[in-house]
Amino acid sequence: MSSRILVIDERMAASGELQRVLTPQGHLVESVCAIGEALENLGLKKYDLIILDVGRSREEDIEFIRSLKTASPETPVILMAHSPSPEQYNRAMELKIDYYIPGYSPAHVLFRTIDRALRKDSDQKHTEADSQGEFSPEMLRKLDSVMARYRNKPGSLIPVLQAAQEIVGYLPPVILKRIAKGMRVSESEVHGVVSFYSYFTMKPRGRHNIRVCLGTACYVKSAEEVVRHLSEGLNVEVGGMTTDKKFSLETVRCLGACGLAPVVVIDKETHGPVNPVKAVDLLKDYV
Amino acid sequence: MKRLTLDSFRTLAESLKGEQRADRGYRASIMLCGGTGCIAGRSPKIRDAFREELRNKWLDKEIRIVLTGCNGFCANGPVLIIQPEDSFYQKVTVADVPAIVEEHFVKRSPVTRLMYKDPASKEQIPLAQDIPFFNRQVLRVLRNKGLIDPENIEDYVAHDGYMAAAKALSEMTSGEIVDEMKRSGLRGRGGAGFPTGLKWEEAAGVSADLKYILCNGDEGDPGAFMDRSVMEGDPHVVLEGMIIGAKAIGSRKGYIYVRAEYPLAVKHLRLAIAHANEYGLLGKDILGTGFDFDIEIYQGAGAFVCGESTALMTSIEGKRGMPRTRPPQSVHKGLFGKPSVLNNVETFANVPLIIRHGADWFKSVGTEKSTGTKVFALSGAVNNIGLIEVPMGTPLREIIFDIGGGIPKGRKFKAVQLGGPSGGCIPEQLLDTPVTFEDIVKTGAIMGSGGMVVMDDLNCMVSVAKFFLEFTADESCGKCTPCRIGTTVLYELVKDITEGRGKEGDLELIEDLSKDIIASSLCGLGQSAPNPVLTTIRYFRDEFEAHIRQKWCPAGVCRELSTFYIAEETCTGCGACARVCAKKAITGEKKKPHSISQELCIQCRSCYQACRFNSVKIGPRSMREDLAVKCVLEETSAAVTAGEE
């Protein structure tokens, strides 16, 4: 599918060039040379991408970006600047510019950035569409009320994340963003905590979650073989989910049920002692 | 319930004790184990079945059924003890419930088939107190195990609960508590063994507007479940220990950090805190003594490093749980920058005993430098898997062979792993080592929190070393390069050895790198991470060398380094191996030597364990080709003979 790209350049020369190189790539390129014209076009049509080509750093450029972002907040913007000042760069970033490349970048850099910008856009739409179905308003309301309860308490990010995982089932980026916003911390801090602790998962789990204990007592009783058999039998990697979303397979450190080693926990039911063949048989009850 | 004062509390305790102690007015109590192992054995369903059966027989007013904390005898679960007479039944199922009610309670004759049988004499032992697993233990921390309902505060009070807290709050000064603790010689049960009294003294001496007392229930060692059992089965003892600690250091706020994997512990602690608040044993003006103290539960999120004190505090602050440099020590600057004392669950469980009975009584058990008792989670290749408590100084041999009942199926003892990923493997020649902090360290292992995993000759020690290194490499928080990269490199070196890529000089390289990791890591995780591999190399060097030189795993665990074959000379052709083979890889006529098809064999070791004549052998990988060639030759010669006929 061809993408509609709007190129804004006051020196026209370069945009002619851009139009020449981008059209063979299958894009529909329109060029304008004034910001006013661009805003007019944006009012009439929908574009997939805007490329803003600016020359020397000027105060107006920032204003351009601001008005572009207001006129069409969802369209990604690539800023090409020929002699950028650090200040311009920082302010562009503050305005949530999507991509930034130097004006004389080689063609492949330009293509890659355009590809990425277009893909990101469609990805985002995709996840948003997903989230519509997957996260009910009920879930989000619950999550918001948990956050409201904890917001002013020091050290409450972890309990909030635990609650969020309980409510949603896992912690996808959309939810992490919401938590960062709600708890007034940076997204990177939230991600840092989520990725540090093994309790948190960013991947969805199957309808039945299989956890194989790999504690010492289970290990010395061949729990590794159990994992191998389950992984082969279900055709799924540890940490993954079967294609039919029925089962997900995980390993855990120690469940403290060493008397039953080796132990497999399916959902909340503990089974043990199991052997590799028996472990696969167990799954029949869950189909 | 009105909040109690000292006087009303003592009156309540007296009246509760007046009722036949454990039985609270009932003729008998069925104390059914509700530990993790027994719950997996469906003990909640058994409880429901008992309830219904007792109601049907009109006995529910006379006999109560209680789901207790872990009884300890996990190997034979689900287990139950009938109080007050102490009758013990094991491996109980829902189907056994009507028989127990009918025979034990109505006809008053015990159900012999559910009794414990002595493995040697095959005699039935009806009472728990006569079973060696129980009667060789000294129960202090676990004194209430199987005796109380963890969800009922009055059960705990009836067993002298909160008496020590009442004494500490009303009769003792902070200094007196600290002195008693110091004299008792109690050392931290989390593993490192730092004297608790000294820690409290230091914290008591710091002046601050707010101090914290923290309980470490982040039992991260795989193979350890002592703290879990205490928190699940006797939650009030932890609260009582913390109240006394709070009075000693002058703290008004406590946290219990519990692993997220322990939902039942969290539930019981929550309930215990709510009840204690209701009874005036927590909160404002405890027992009318003017002392305020609150406890909050903090659930961890699964990170082994959070067992380290500074990492645990960072985690409570809601951040990535990474340790920080010391000094300042946590007793000066800990949680939220305030002076904080962190003790382990088992340490706190010892405190009420010391306050109630005195330091001298406490010291009467154990050795001079390691006083009191220690709880161990005994698991692995041992008959009586479970939770045990013994005096410090008990030799390992006694724990494994007398209490643990030795190695199952007549196999041979190989090693015992103590201290989890920070500990080491102790071989047979050191089995007479007494369990004290000092003696265990001499072997290269550490006392640790109490996980004790027994290994028999089916275990490959190189593989065990690999297991622990994988664990520490994965759990290293990443702050110190020597630990983050070093443990990964160690893991890869050992993994290479188990997969046939080991070479001369690897062992020396491992030892060398280990020294650097120990010397240059910030926290205990890195400083002790090489212990498991170092001790296995120290005691089982020949096994490592067999892996490296002959490409042979003598235990048959490392798949790339083993070949299973049947020794024709000793094979009787009984067919036991062929019957257990899931892949039908073993063939042979009856009473004639069998053979294993190398193509079909998946090296599951079932035949090796099934053979009673020791005829299934494990050879190096190189044998596989030889055997395959031999097989082809035999087939051709058979074909030739057939052709001739």
Domain ranges, residue A251: 208-285
On whether residue A75 sits in a domain, the answer given is yes
User: What percent of chain B lies above the pLDDT cut of 90?
Assistant: 79
On whether residue A39 sits in a domain, the answer given is yes
**Whether pLDDT at B322 is above 80:** yes
Return the sign of the alpha-carbon dihedral for residues B243, B249, B252, B257. Answer: negative
**Whether pLDDT at A131 is above 60:** no
Q: List phi, psi (to 5°) of A175.
A: -70, -40
Q: Which of A10-19, B389-398, B519-528, B534-543 has the lowest mean pLDDT?
A: A10-19
Q: Which helix (H) or strand (E) holds A107?
A: helix A107-134
Take residue B472 and report the two structure tokens written for it: 């520490």
On whether residue A203 sits in a domain, the answer given is no
Q: Which of A19-23, B291-295, B488-492 has the lowest mean pLDDT?
A: A19-23
Query: Tell me, what's the pLDDT at A132?
Result: 46
Give yes or no: residues A40 and A108 share one domain.
yes
Closest chain A residue to the Cα of B76, Cα to Cα: A259
Are A199 and B260 within 8 A, CB to CB?
A: yes
Are A256 and B379 within 8 A, CB to CB?
A: no
Query: Tell me, what's the pLDDT at A108?
Result: 78
Residue at a domain's end among A196, A219, A254: A196
**Whether pLDDT at A217 is above 80:** yes
| A 145-184 residues inside an 8 A Cβ radius of B | 154-159, 161-162
Which among B40, B260, B453 is the nearest to A217, CB-wise?
B453
Query: Tell me, what's the pLDDT at A190?
Result: 96
* Calpha distance B587→B609 (Å, rounded): 17
Q: Please report residues of A whose CB lies closer than 8 A to that of B40.
A: 257, 260, 263, 270-272
How far does CA B506 lie from the centroid of its chain? Answer: 33
Better-scored residue on pLDDT, A70 or B207: B207
Smallest CA–CA distance, residue A277 to chain B, in Å, is 8
Would you say the ipTM is above 0.95?
no
Give yes or no: residues A14 and A113 share one domain.
yes
Q: Please report residues of A whose CB lies closer than 8 A to that of B303.
A: 196-198
Q: Please report residues of B whose CB lies closer than 8 A to that of A255.
A: 36, 261
**Whether pLDDT at B176 is above 70:** yes
Smallest CA–CA distance, residue A160 to chain B, in Å, is 10
Q: List phi, psi (to 5°) of B159.
A: -100, 45
Is residue B571 within 8 A of residue B579, CB to CB? The reply is no
Are A198 and B420 within 8 A, CB to CB?
A: no
Give yes or no: residues A72 and A174 share one domain.
no
**Whether pLDDT at A256 is above 80:** no
Q: Please report residues of B whose CB lies closer than 8 A to that of A219.
A: 222, 464, 467
Instruction: Identify which of A154, A135, A258 has the alpha carbon closest to the alpha carbon of residue A204.
Output: A135
For the residues B613-630, what does the mean pLDDT come to? 85
Q: Which of B389-398, B506-515, B611-620 has the lowest mean pLDDT?
A: B611-620
Which residues are bridge partners to A266 per DSSP? Answer: A210, A269
Write the pLDDT tens digit of every residue in B422-434.
999 999 999 999 9
Smallest CA–CA distance, residue B495 to chain A, in Å, is 14
Q: How many domains does chain A have?
A: 3
* Residue B366: DSSP 8-state: B
Burial degree of B44 (CB within 10 A; 0-12, 13-18, 19+): middle
On whether residue A239 sits in a domain, the answer given is yes
Residue at a domain's end among A140, A174, A196: A196
On whether residue A201 sits in a domain, the answer given is no
Reading across the β-sheet that carries A28-32, which strands appear in turn? A28-32, A4-9, A49-56, A77-83, A99-102
Give yes or no: residues A15 and A80 share one domain.
yes
Which band of pLDDT confidence, cut at 50, 70 and 90, is reported for residue A129? very low
Q: Please report residues of A whose CB lies closer than 8 A to that of B453.
A: 216-217, 220, 258
Q: Which helix (H) or strand (E) holds B125?
A: strand B124-125
Are B379 and A216 within 8 A, CB to CB?
A: yes
SS3 label, residue B344: strand
What's the CATH number where A104 sits?
Answer: 3.40.50.2300
Residue A256 sits at the chain B interface (C-beta within 8 Å): yes
Residues with Cβ within 8 Å of A181's Cβ and at least 6 positions away in sequence, in order, are none
Give yes or no: residues A181 and A280 share one domain.
no
| B 212-271 residues inside an 8 A Cβ radius of A | 219-225, 228, 260-262
* Calpha distance B101→B289 (Å, rounded): 47
Query: Tell me, what's the pLDDT at A65?
Result: 78
DSSP string computed for A245-280 = SSEEEEEES--S-GGG-S-EEETTEEE-S--HHHHH
Query: Tell me, what's the pLDDT at A6?
Result: 85
Smallest CA–CA distance, residue B296 to chain A, in Å, is 13
Are A257 and B262 within 8 A, CB to CB?
A: no
Residue B462 sits at the chain A interface (C-beta within 8 Å): no
* Calpha distance A198→A209 (Å, rounded): 15
* Calpha distance B219→B257 (Å, rounded): 10
Are B74 and A260 within 8 A, CB to CB?
A: yes
**Whether pLDDT at B466 is above 90:** yes
Residue at a domain's end among A99, A124, A149: A124
Give yes or no: residues A10 and A120 share one domain.
yes
**Whether pLDDT at B22 is above 80:** no
Query: Tell me, what's the pLDDT at B40?
Result: 83
Give yes or no: residues A113 and A183 share one domain.
no
Give yes or no: residues A132 and A117 share one domain.
no
* Calpha distance A44→A18 (Å, rounded): 22
Is residue A199 within 8 A of residue B259, CB to CB? The reply is no
What's the CATH number where A236 sits?
Answer: 3.40.30.10
Residue A67 sits at the chain B interface (C-beta within 8 Å): no
Give yes or no: residues A13 and A101 share one domain.
yes
Residue A192 sits at the chain B interface (C-beta within 8 Å): yes
Write the pLDDT tens digit of every residue in B345-386.
999 999 999 999 999 999 999 999 999 999 999 999 999 999
Which residues are bridge partners to B32 per DSSP? Answer: B67, B80
Burial degree of B415 (CB within 10 A; 0-12, 13-18, 19+): buried
* Residue B102: DSSP 8-state: I
Give yes or no: residues A32 and A108 share one domain.
yes
Are A256 and B304 within 8 A, CB to CB?
A: no
Give yes or no: residues A170 and A147 share one domain.
yes
Query: Tell me, what's the pLDDT at B363?
Result: 95
Burial degree of B489 (CB within 10 A; 0-12, 13-18, 19+): middle
Are A258 and B321 within 8 A, CB to CB?
A: no
Are A220 and B464 within 8 A, CB to CB?
A: yes
Are A192 and B320 within 8 A, CB to CB?
A: yes
Are A196 and B77 within 8 A, CB to CB?
A: no
Is residue B598 within 8 A of residue B627, CB to CB? The reply is yes
Kindly provide the b/e burial profile for residues B612-637, where b requires at least 16 CB atoms within 10 angstroms of the residue's own CB: eeebbbbbbbebbeebeeeeeeeeee
Which among B40, B299, B301 is the nearest to A257, CB-wise?
B40
Is residue A242 within 8 A of residue A235, CB to CB? The reply is yes
Identify from B320, B335, B472 which residue to disrupt to test chain A contact, counting A C-beta atoms within 10 A and taking the largest count.
B320
DSSP string computed for B253-272 = EEEEEE-TT-HHHHHHHHHH
Which among A193, A252, A261 is the nearest to B379, CB-wise?
A261
On whether residue A160 sits in a domain, the answer given is yes
What does DSSP say about strands B563-566 and B616-619: parallel, antiparallel, or unpaired?
A: antiparallel
* Residue B426: DSSP 8-state: E
For the residues B280-287, what does the mean pLDDT come to? 96
On whether residue A202 sits in a domain, the answer given is no
Which among B41, B320, B471 is the nearest to A193, CB-wise?
B320
Give yes or no: residues A181 and A277 share one domain.
no
Closest chain B residue to the Cα of A270, Cα to Cα: B40
